[in-house]
Amino acid sequence: MFKKFIEGLVFGCGFAISFIAIYFIASYFIYPKLINSRFQQTTTIHSDEDFRELAEPFSELTLEEQIKNSSVIALAKYEPSTDGRMKAIIKDFLKKESGVTVRYKIGDEFSSSSYYPNPKGRIFHGDGVVIFFTGSPAVMKMSMTYSGDRISALGDMPLELLRKKCRE
């Protein structure tokens, strides 16, 4: 009886070891190939613009390229609300390509840029924000604040100069 027990134990251990070995072989050689083939199927590049977007982040493009690649560029101004929050209200579209679907219109709040002021007053958000959108429907790619008539993220560029560049 003890001999039968030992034989069953050895058989069970052998079965478990072979199962573990097959699992590790599959996880190192077979599964990565399946995952890669599925990944390659879902990341199809349709155009040079798709490739460029994957290769170089929008924020690293030159201002002229950002303007060119944007379907919409909006200008929002911070206004206080009754609950103490500073709302980013869209005041103007510096660029809006025809046929582009934009989910905002002048007077709408762009809630992603709205904020509650810091009671200690250490963080400065400026007077408003310039928002770059791409595609249709337009999706926000980048934003930067402005103070007065200057955009500090663009080397204190005047807003009027950005308007002019957007019209060109």
The pLDDT of residue 5: 76
The pLDDT of residue 41: 47
- Range in 71-85, 111-125, 141-155 the model is least confident about: 111-125
Q: With 0.75 as the threshold, say if the pTM is over it.
A: no
Q: Which amino acid is at 43?
A: T
Q: Give 64 or 4, the one with higher predicted confidence.
A: 64
- Range in 20-29, 70-79, 141-150, 157-166 the model is least confident about: 20-29
Whether pLDDT at 26 is above 90: no
User: pLDDT band at 50, cuts 50/70/90?
Assistant: low
The pLDDT of residue 29: 67
pLDDT tens digits for range 58-69:
888 899 999 999
pLDDT tens digits for range 127-148:
999 999 999 899 999 999 999 9
The pLDDT of residue 55: 62
